[in-house]
Chain A
Amino acid sequence: MSEYGIYLYAVTPDVSGNATAGTTPDEATGTTAGAGPGTRPERAADVSRDTRRGTGPGPGGGTARLHGVLGGPVRPIRHAGLVAHVGEVPLDQFGEGPLRRLLEDLDWVEGVARAHHHVVEALAAAGPVAPVRLVTVYTGEDQIRDLLDRRRDDFADLLARVAGRHEWGVKAYVTRAAPPAPPAVPASGRGSASPGTAYLQRRKASLRSREDVWRAAAERAERLHAALGEIAVAGRRHRPQDPQLSGRSDVMVLNGAYLVDPDRDGEFAAALDAFRGEGMDVELTGPWAPYSFTSLDLGSDRGGGTR
Chain B
Amino acid sequence: MTIDGSRGRALAAEGRLPAERVALVDLLDRLLAGGVVVTGELVLSIADIELVRISLRALLASVRDADEEEGDDEPSWP
Chain A residues proximal to chain B, CB less than 8 Å: 5, 8, 11, 91, 94-96, 99-100, 103-104, 106, 109-110, 113-114, 116-118, 121, 124-125, 130-139, 143, 146-147, 155, 158, 166, 168-169, 218, 235-242, 244-247, 251, 253, 255, 257, 262-263, 265-266, 268-270, 272, 284-288, 291-300
Contact with A along B25-39 (1 / 0, CB 8 A): 111111111111111
B58 touches A245 (CB 8 A): yes
By DSSP majority rule, is chain A's interface helix, strand, loop, or mixed? Answer: mixed
- Residues of B contacting A168 in the complex (Cβ-Cβ under 8 angstroms): 11, 15
> Which one of B3, B7, B30, B66 lies within 8 Å of A239 (CB-CB)?
B66
B59 touches A297 (CB 8 A): no
- Residues of B contacting A125 in the complex (Cβ-Cβ under 8 angstroms): 1
* Minimum CB–CB distance for B73 against chain A, Å: 5
* Minimum CB–CB distance for B56 against chain A, Å: 6
B58 touches A239 (CB 8 A): no
> Which one of A110, A137, A272, A298 lies within 8 Å of B44 (CB-CB)?
A137
B34 touches A136 (CB 8 A): no
Chain B residues proximal to chain A, CB less than 8 Å: 1-5, 7-8, 10-12, 14-17, 19-20, 22-51, 53-56, 58-60, 62-63, 65-67, 72-75, 77-78
CA–CA, A132 to B72, complex, Å? 19
A298 touches B22 (CB 8 A): no
> Which one of B34, B51, B56 lies within 8 Å of A292 (CB-CB)?
B34
**Do A239 and B63 form a contact, CB below 8 Å, given A133-B46, A245-B25, A269-B7?**
yes
> Which one of B8, B16, B35, B37 lies within 8 Å of A269 (CB-CB)?
B8
In the complex, residue of chain B having the shortest beta-carbon distance to the beta carbon of A236 = B73
- Residues of A contacting B78 in the complex (Cβ-Cβ under 8 angstroms): 240, 251
**Given known contacts A245-B62, A285-B26, what 18 new A-B pairs fall within 8 Å (CB)?**
A91-B43, A96-B44, A96-B48, A99-B44, A104-B55, A106-B55, A133-B38, A238-B30, A240-B78, A241-B29, A253-B77, A287-B1, A292-B33, A295-B36, A297-B37, A298-B36, A298-B39, A299-B39
A298 touches B54 (CB 8 A): no
